[in-house]
Chains A and B, each alone.
Chain A
Amino acid sequence: MITLGRIGRYGFLLLVAAVSLFPLMWMVLSAFKPGGDVIARPFAFDFDQLSWTNFREMGHTIPIGIGLRNTMIVVLVKGALTLLCCPMAGYAFAKFDFAFKRVLFGTVLTTLMLPTLVLLIPLLLEMSELGWVNTFPALILPGAVDAFGVFWMRQIIAEIPDELLDAARVDGAGELRIFRSIVLPVIRPGLAALGVLTFINIYNDFVWPVVAVNDTDHQTLQVMLSGLARAAVVGQLGDAASAWGQLLAASTVAAVPVLIVFVLLQRHLIRGVMAGSVKG
């Protein structure tokens, strides 16, 4: 039954989707144009002139396969750490009292509000002391436990009725069991959201990785891309046009894994409102 409400609803969503997709579509299409044309004639798409040149040149400029490999290593390990530590810590904050809890939570809150820029040099010095500059631990451990993750998990877990947990305790269930069988299933949508956002954040992160690693064996995709972005915006050396083209090509390639992962994960992310509830 096509009602006005339905048209309005899907019209709205289509508008939102179009608006969100527009820059991405521009980027992907522009990747097939010469870089100079991207700057000078950004909305002219001559379909006869499209070519793979930028992709080829990008392949010669940055080892994108290695970048992808490095990114995946970091995403998987760091993401796993986040998804392991944050729910547990959030649970502790939400449902328990313990010594220094307030202090600790205050500290977490402070790191959440602290601009990460200011930590670049202190962290780099610390990595230097540990001998971790230009290694994977330097990419994985700082920021592995995001204050945001803990904050979000605490928020979500706090809404679980205490009665549920107490009842399980009365039944004699161990704490770990309670966590696994009661807390985790209930917070599944929130945890999935955290997973997706964490994945995207780690994948896109470049501010710290640029500073932390030096050679291509350790550079993540975003680090390589940021090098191209620098060449694209600095006008003095005459390679801005070619850098733009290669940047767009590289970004197009880099966007693929994220989109794939997201499409795969959205099933968990948007578990529909339970059957029988408000439907279109």
Chain B
Amino acid sequence: MTTKRSRRRRSAVPYLFIAPFLVIFAAFGVYPMGFALQLSFTNWHGAGILKFTGLRNYRYLLTSPDFWGSLANSGIVWLLVVPVQVIVALAIAVVLMNSRFKGAFSAALIAPFVTPLVAMAQVWIIMFDTDFGAVNHVLGAVGLPPVGWLTTVAWAKPTVALLVLWRTTGYAVVLLMAGLQSIPPQVYEAAKLDGASAWRQFWSITLPLAMRTVSFVVVIGTLTVFQLFAEPYVLTRGAPFNSTRTAGLYLYNHITNSDLGLGAANSFLLVLMVFALSLASVRLLRPREGT
């Protein structure tokens, strides 16, 4: 995946290009992050002076079953969301690229972005209600027993994951479509002339060349899932029995309870986890043959 290193230009040019970004980033990105890092070594609750407590926060978190539990919950949600999202978004992107009325369909895909979360969550709560929800109604119509979607430990995470999928897949489609467009049409032309079927074209051309974008989507999806707090908060508040308390929600609780030192330590631990997971997934996706 390495790009050619032919640009060994050492001049003032890159500095000029990066300067505007750097100024804003340093002032409003790095500076607060530095303070947050500092906070992670204190037990500050928002009042009084900062009291340095060393690694206490990190130790507490790393030995806390609640912390690891929240990570496990996020991990499961990740498994339910990211692979599914990649497949679904890729399918939608590919089909959309080759169809008419692109504008209309992609406008529909944007709809989840403009629906406020509380409204969508309310629809979910109503549809997935154990006794009176539409989903169980349909299940009942085909003779299946009702499922405790939001009330049982087994099904709460998938239900939350479904909401996340619903809300974020459009984003992935937008990114993938941009990536797919960078594939030169001549490649497809040649394949078609060779008699390759649409399916074969997808496997041998589209997928490998889009892999970079797919990896990107996986990384973005990973950090979205691990930072997630709004969806589980609005849907379940972490219930039942904290089974939907994701890493993001666990962090959210710290921050809103003014456990700022603990929250900061929690965040940096999450950075490590997310980075590790992203790296692992991208490695997994690395195309085997050279492109």
- Which secondary structure dominates where chain A touches chain B? helix
Within 8 Å of chain A (Cβ to Cβ): is B107?
yes
Least CB distance from A72 to B in Å reads: 15
Within 8 Å of chain B (Cβ to Cβ): is A81?
yes
Least CB distance from A270 to B in Å reads: 5
Q: How large is the interface on A (under 10, 10 to 19, 20 to 34, 35 or more residues)?
A: 35 or more
Least CB distance from A239 to B in Å reads: 15
Within 8 Å of chain A (Cβ to Cβ): is B154?
no
B270–A113 contact, CB under 8 A? Answer: yes
A121–B28 contact, CB under 8 A? Answer: no
Within 8 Å of chain B (Cβ to Cβ): is A9?
yes
A21–B108 contact, CB under 8 A? Answer: yes
By beta carbon, the residue of chain A nearest B277 is A113
How many chain B residues touch A (CB < 8 A): the figure is 101
B32–A122 contact, CB under 8 A? Answer: yes
Within 8 Å of chain A (Cβ to Cβ): is B239?
no
A280–B100 contact, CB under 8 A? Answer: yes
A23–B182 contact, CB under 8 A? Answer: no
Within 8 Å of chain A (Cβ to Cβ): is B212?
yes
- Which secondary structure dominates where chain B touches chain A? helix
Question: B35 to chain A: which residues have CB within 8 Å?
Answer: 122, 125-126
Within 8 Å of chain A (Cβ to Cβ): is B72?
no
Question: A123 to chain B: which residues have CB within 8 Å?
Answer: 28, 32
Question: Which of B11-19, B58-66, B79-87 lies at the interface?
Answer: B11-19
Least CB distance from B50 to A in Å reads: 12
Within 8 Å of chain A (Cβ to Cβ): is B192?
yes
Least CB distance from A207 to B in Å reads: 8
- Could you mark each residue 251-280 of chain A with 1 if its beta carbon is under 8 Å from any beta carbon of chain B, else 0? 100110011001100110111111011111
CB within 8 Å for A88 and B17 given contacts A192-B178, A204-B113: yes
B111–A24 contact, CB under 8 A? Answer: yes
Q: In whole angstroms, what is the CA distance A67 to B263 when docked?
A: 32
B201–A278 contact, CB under 8 A? Answer: yes
Within 8 Å of chain A (Cβ to Cβ): is B103?
yes
How many residue pairs at the A-B interface have CB separations less than 8 Å? 293
Within 8 Å of chain B (Cβ to Cβ): is A200?
yes
B98–A193 contact, CB under 8 A? Answer: no
- Could you mark each residue 162-181 of chain A with 1 if its beta carbon is under 8 Å from any beta carbon of chain B, else 0? 10011000000001000100
Question: A50 to chain B: which residues have CB within 8 Å?
Answer: none
A108–B25 contact, CB under 8 A? Answer: yes
Question: A251 to chain B: which residues have CB within 8 Å?
Answer: 115-116, 119
A88–B177 contact, CB under 8 A? Answer: no
Q: Which of B177-206 contact A (CB under 8 A)?
A: 177-182, 185, 188-189, 192, 198, 201
Within 8 Å of chain B (Cβ to Cβ): is A66?
no
Within 8 Å of chain A (Cβ to Cβ): is B20?
yes
Q: Which of A18-65 contact B (CB under 8 A)?
A: 18-24, 26-27, 30, 38-39, 42-43
Within 8 Å of chain A (Cβ to Cβ): is B78?
no
By beta carbon, the residue of chain B nearest A119 is B32
B24–A20 contact, CB under 8 A? Answer: no
B92–A266 contact, CB under 8 A? Answer: no
Within 8 Å of chain A (Cβ to Cβ): is B4?
yes
A278–B18 contact, CB under 8 A? Answer: no
CB within 8 Å for A112 and B201 given contacts A16-B105, A97-B10, A123-B32: no
Q: In whole angstroms, what is the CA distance A247 to B5 when docked?
A: 53
A273–B181 contact, CB under 8 A? Answer: yes
CB within 8 Å for A155 and B216 given contacts A23-B119, A27-B119, A42-B122: yes
Q: Which A residues lie at the B interface, using CB under 8 A?
A: 5, 9-10, 12-13, 16-24, 26-27, 30, 38-39, 42-43, 81, 84-86, 88-89, 91-98, 101, 104, 107-123, 125-126, 141-145, 147-148, 150-152, 155-156, 158-159, 162, 165-166, 175, 179, 189-190, 192-193, 196-197, 200, 204, 225, 229, 232-233, 247-248, 251, 254-255, 258-259, 262-263, 266-267, 269-274, 276-280
